[in-house]
Amino acid sequence: MTNLQGKTALVTGAGRGIGQAIALKLAAEGARIVLNDLDEDPVKDTVAQIEARGGQAVPCVGSVSAPAFAEEFVSTAVEAFDGIDIIVNNAGFTWDNVIQKMTDDQWDAILDVHLKAPFRILRAAQPVISAAVKAERAAGLQVPCRKVVNISSLAGVGGNVGQANYASAKAGVEGLTRTVAKEWGRYNITVNAVAYGMIHTRLTAASADGDSTISIQGNDIKIGMNPELLEQMERSIPLGRAGTPEEAAGAVYLLCSPESNYISGQTLVCGGGFMI
């Protein structure tokens, strides 16, 4: 039997990159996955990969920033799998600029996706989890240890040039994590964060011309890094390289596994030894 057999895990931003790796890892450990992404095709791909490996998964396509998304996400989990055991708030992107050039739209978009969306999802999940815990206690059952893992960044720990919006959002994730850990301990829920350093994804891939973009809700967002800068940054990492999405997923899994049942309110840095 795998460590997460019978558990239901909600993972946002699970169509690509780190989020997809997290969904695949948790599914491989036995969890049933409710996965989200902004685009339908990546979600279908992740669902298909999980099912091809004998797992169970259902999609919930849409923007985590949408006002009604959190309730839909939670309802999908309840309808498909009758409960919630794990929540991984992973969805996000960066939209960089130095502070004097950063627009209100840039600020609001990044705070919405990285901080407001996790807040809304946790708020929507609370009645479901509370009711489950009350029912378990009334039946004389042992209340299982449920898990929340919020995704932070080294930018939220030490700041980063051109990322006032992103760093502020991720610093907020740290405060949200510690607060909910104190509020939800009575439900036997651990709430932790993973702060990533450099991980290889499409957002950090080498881009020689600097013209690579993705479209997010009508905005063209630059992605990729100058190859020389990328190489320089990797040299500054004690392990000498950026991490893989699978290694990033491993950090989340550690905080979802039974071995972490007495760890809560903490931030695990997954950065190859690099610290700001």
**Confidence at residue 224, expressed as pLDDT on a 0 to 100 scale:** 66
Please identify which of the residues 166, 196, 253, 262 carries the catalytic annotation.
Answer: 166
In a domain, 55, yes or no: yes
**Confidence at residue 202, expressed as pLDDT on a 0 to 100 scale:** 72
In a domain, 53, yes or no: yes
Distance in angstroms (rounded) separating the CA atoms of residues 14 and 261: 24
* Count of domains for the chain: 1
**Confidence at residue 227, expressed as pLDDT on a 0 to 100 scale:** 73
**Confidence at residue 226, expressed as pLDDT on a 0 to 100 scale:** 67
**Confidence at residue 208, expressed as pLDDT on a 0 to 100 scale:** 53
Distance in angstroms (rounded) separating the CA atoms of residues 75 and 30: 21
**Confidence at residue 228, expressed as pLDDT on a 0 to 100 scale:** 74
In a domain, 225, yes or no: no
In a domain, 179, yes or no: yes
Q: Which two tokens stand for residue 249?
A: 């997923």
Alpha-carbon radius of gyration of the chain: 18
Per-residue pLDDT of the chain (276 residues; tens, 9 = 90+): 589 999 999 999 999 999 999 999 999 999 999 999 999 999 999 999 999 999 999 999 999 999 999 999 999 999 999 999 999 999 999 999 999 999 999 999 999 999 999 999 999 999 999 999 999 999 999 999 999 999 999 999 999 999 999 999 999 999 999 999 999 999 999 999 999 999 998 766 655 555 666 667 777 666 666 677 778 888 999 999 999 999 999 999 999 999 999 999 999 999 999 987
- Is residue 48 packed enough to be buried (19+ CB in 10 Å), middle (13-18) or exposed (0-12)? exposed
Q: Which two tokens stand for residue 79?
A: 């309808």
Distance in angstroms (rounded) separating the CA atoms of residues 46 and 128: 26
**Confidence at residue 219, expressed as pLDDT on a 0 to 100 scale:** 73
For the domain that residue 25 is a member of, what is the CATH number? 3.40.50.720
Whether 201 contacts 212, CB under 8 Å? no
Question: Computed from CA positions of residues 56, 66, 193, 263, in that sequence, does the dihedral angle turn out positive or negative?
Answer: negative
In a domain, 147, yes or no: yes
In a domain, 115, yes or no: yes
CA dihedral 105, 200, 121, 176 (to 10 degrees): -80
In a domain, 205, yes or no: no
Q: Which structural domain, as residue segments, surrounds residue 119?
A: 8-198+244-270
Q: Is 187 a catalytic residue?
A: no
**Confidence at residue 211, expressed as pLDDT on a 0 to 100 scale:** 61
**Confidence at residue 205, expressed as pLDDT on a 0 to 100 scale:** 62
In a domain, 213, yes or no: no
Q: Which two tokens stand for residue 220?
A: 């063209």
> What does the buried/exposed string (b/e) look like for 159-193 if buried means 16 or more CB atoms within 10 Å of the residue's CB?
ebebbbbbbbbbbbbbebbbebbeebeebbbbbbb
